[in-house]
Amino acid sequence: MRKSLIPFVLILIVATMSCKQENPLLAEFATPYQTPPFDRIRPEHYVPAVRTAIDEARAEVEAIASNPAAPTFENTLAALDRSGKHLDAITEILFNLNEAETNPALQAVVREVSPLITDFSNDISLNPKLFDRIRAVWEARDTLGLNTEQATLLAKTYRQFEQNGACLDEAGKERFREISRRLADLSLQFGENELAANNAFVMHLTDSADLAGLPPSLVAAAAQAAKERNLEGWAITLHAPMYIPFMRYSERRDLREKLNRAYGSRGLQPGEHCNQQIIKDITSLRLEKAKLLGHKTHADLVLQQRMAETPANVFALEQQLLDASRPAARREVEEVQQFAQTRGFNDVIQRWDWPYYSYKLKMARYSYDEEELKPYLSLDSVVNGVFLLAHKLYGLTFTPNATIPLYHPDVRTYEVHRDGRLMAILYLDFFPREGKSGGAWKTTFRSQYRIGDTDVRPLVSIVTNFTKPTADAPALLTFGELETLLHEFGHALHAMLSECTYQSVSGTAVYRDFVELPSQIMENWASEKEYLDLFATHHLTGQKIPQELVQKVVDSRNFTAGYLSLRQISLGLLDMAWHTIEQPVEMSVEEFEAKAIGHLDVFPAIAGMNTSTAFGHIFAGGYAAGYYGYKWAEVLDADAFELFKQRGIFDRATAESFRDNILSRGGSEHPMVLYTRFRGHQPTAEALLKRSGLK
């Protein structure tokens, strides 16, 4: 009997080895620093790799759950944190590429793989043997002598299991599984629809009169976009590098309206890319899940693990900021209306007029046009400037590495070192393309953690949608794009400087309303002349950015601050409205949004335009009941940067304190404890209101 099995076993071993050789996701990554072998991965590799990795992870979890030894932190919590690393590696590659470089084949893979991963995740959370072990450690926590990071991991894991249905009866667990599967599918559909709707619209211009008012850089970019689409003339898309400057500079009100209506109707119009029913289904299922777990609303469930803690605290902060922002916003709109009238405009300011006339007023008031700044902000110079800031604050150095495989030729890769020690691999992906989602974000292909004496360093990526270089000029950034890169780089620092033992609490694995502090504080350096002098030189003449131009930036920084603050608050309140419902929404998405935030709108309502149907942060991302976190973190970052202003914006001791207490600690301790340890006191909104000119 044993003899007859030998050939079969040999065949199986050979077949497995052959499969691993053919599928790069099933083999060790023979690449620099075990980076993903993007040059070898094909769409057909993902499904078998995910299935194999799930089987491996399932066996690891079952070994933990069935361990005959008494449950301890090490054999249960630490072991669980170490499990599934192969699966993590594969899914990080897959889902990140689905955002940055997707195509129909990859989208089909994601749709097939997503329910497999959801089911496996539920199998872990709803495993009674595993939860019994976790609960036993939790109940003995005060006697175990755990350090702070271990105690935090234990609390986080126990509460996550509770929130993921571990305490439900069998019928409840089965319904929880059904809801989780459906939500994962709906979120994918929402994101695909948003991307497709964004890519579907192109405003094709063939008459040079349609270009009135546009800066040469935008005209060149539009000509290049047309050429890429085999069109004559110029093509204007809904991608931010085109949409924003067109709305700001175009003298053609009819074209601004056309573009604005297209932007505001993404995902709203009936058809294959419509997100209306998807939103209602997502919010209804999230509500049902919250009630299943004993909570009144989805927000009540989510905010248990946030600094804000309750919806009431979120609304209190939003109201405090709203009281300061709304009167200022109304004054600003009236000022722009009056200014437009002096320019011969005799209509009511509409939302497609606001970018144009508010910017004209800004230029008139401060003698400042952002186009003046762009020649000093070539992309390469800005990247060097961001690296210099990281070096001055945290001692980091960045060395290009051309041997690391790339998922697109536009991507750049760097080794990041501190005091000779490798801290991370950094990927930079700057330009828009058909397969890339809009906006900007930081992500990781691998998070930082330790196993024994091995410190596994992170693979971090920053993805943006900046204007591409043309035949005549390098990529030149706006001031807002400089702030965007600094923002995402702050997230990257949070990941790259992590010094945690457990992956579940490392890097940016922190409360959602705390995660924006490291990113938003970085934006403060953008308007500091001492910093700009390090890198901001004219790309043709090499001249340093003039002091008077920087002063114009500083003087104009709070222009329409009330409106911008009101807009951000409105988005936070819209998010909370969708996630504090106590019954499924019956009315249309447009009607719901109008009831939720229509009273905050400073422009006339326009039928057929909507925010919710393209609000990917909350319906396809991780910000549901958490979008307020941007304003929450603004309070923190304004207060924190005050310390840098007092001691010097490059003060190494202050930076080291920020690194030690915030960046390196991840989510290993409660964020308010970390913050007060750095700042010496709890934050208030005073610094933010002062910085914004709202007080």
User: What homologous superfamily does CATH list for 23-167?
Assistant: Endopeptidase. Chain P; domain 1 (1.20.1050.40)
Q: CB–CB of 382/535 below 8 Å?
A: yes
Contacts of 84 (CB under 8 A, 6+ apart): 53, 56, 57, 60, 61
618 has a pLDDT exceeding 70:
yes
459 has a pLDDT exceeding 70:
yes
Integer Cα distance of 657 and 677 in angstroms = 9
* Per-residue model confidence (pLDDT) at position 208: 96
For 480, the token pair is 């807002």
* Residue ranges in 201-310 assigned as alpha helix (H): 216-228, 240-249, 253-264, 276-292, 298-302
3-class secondary-structure state, position 312:
helix
Of residues 506 and 693, more confidence is placed in 506
Q: CB–CB of 595/359 below 8 Å?
A: no
Residue of 626, 628, 619 lying closest to 286 (CA atoms): 619
Q: What is the mean pLDDT of the chain?
A: 94
For 438, the token pair is 């809009």
* Per-residue model confidence (pLDDT) at position 21: 56
Q: CB–CB of 300/321 below 8 Å?
A: no
Residue 17 pLDDT level (bands cut at 50, 70, 90):
very low
* Per-residue model confidence (pLDDT) at position 689: 87
Residue 126 pLDDT level (bands cut at 50, 70, 90):
very high
* Per-residue model confidence (pLDDT) at position 5: 35
What number is the average pLDDT over the span 454-461? Answer: 98
Integer Cα distance of 31 and 161 in angstroms = 36
Integer Cα distance of 293 and 284 in angstroms = 14
pLDDT in tens, 339-388: 999 999 999 999 999 999 999 999 999 998 889 999 999 999 999 999 99
Integer Cα distance of 639 and 645 in angstroms = 10
Considering the domain 374-557 in this protein, what is its CATH number? 1.10.1370.40
For the beta carbon of residue 444, count every other beta carbon within 10 angstroms: 24
19 has a pLDDT exceeding 70:
no
* Residue ranges in 140-203 assigned as alpha helix (H): 148-163, 170-200
451 DSSP β-pair partners: 454
| Lowest mean pLDDT segment, chosen from 9-18, 583-592, 643-652 | 9-18
For 370, the token pair is 């952002």
What number is the average pLDDT over the span 60-81? Answer: 98
Cα dihedral sign, 442-355-251-262? positive
* Per-residue model confidence (pLDDT) at position 3: 34
What number is the average pLDDT over the span 5-14? Answer: 37
81 has a pLDDT exceeding 80:
yes
User: Of 332, 483, 488, 516, which residue is the catalytic one?
Assistant: 488
Contacts of 125 (CB under 8 A, 6+ apart): 131, 160, 161, 164, 165, 166
pLDDT in tens, 595-605: 999 999 999 99
6 has a pLDDT exceeding 50:
no
| Lowest mean pLDDT segment, chosen from 17-26, 37-46, 319-328 | 17-26
Q: CB–CB of 49/88 below 8 Å?
A: no
Do 23-167 and 374-557 come out as alike in CATH topology? no
Domain boundaries in the chain? Answer: 23-167, 201-264, 267-345+558-695, 374-557
10 has a pLDDT exceeding 60:
no
What number is the average pLDDT over the span 49-75? Answer: 98
Q: How many helices (H) and strands (E) does the chain have?
A: 28, 9
Percent of the chain with pLDDT over 90: 92
For the beta carbon of residue 583, count every other beta carbon within 10 angstroms: 7
Please give the angle made by the CA atoms of 536, 636 and 611, to the nearest 5 degrees: 80
pLDDT in tens, 204-218: 999 999 999 999 999
Residue 612 pLDDT level (bands cut at 50, 70, 90):
very high
C-alpha of 681 from chain center = 28
pLDDT in tens, 396-438: 999 999 999 999 999 999 999 999 999 999 999 999 999 999 8
251 has a pLDDT exceeding 60:
yes
Integer Cα distance of 123 and 459 in angstroms = 28
For 651, the token pair is 């003060």
Radius of gyration of the chain (CA): 26
13 has a pLDDT exceeding 70:
no
* Per-residue model confidence (pLDDT) at position 523: 97
| Lowest mean pLDDT segment, chosen from 10-24, 443-457, 530-544 | 10-24
pLDDT in tens, 520-529: 999 999 999 9
3-class secondary-structure state, position 192:
helix
Active site residue 488: yes
What number is the average pLDDT over the span 545-562? Answer: 91
Considering the domain 267-345+558-695 in this protein, what is its CATH number? 1.10.1370.10
Torsion of CA 190, 196, 199, 204, to 10 degrees: -120
Integer Cα distance of 260 and 244 in angstroms = 10
Q: CB–CB of 615/624 below 8 Å?
A: no
* Per-residue model confidence (pLDDT) at position 370: 87
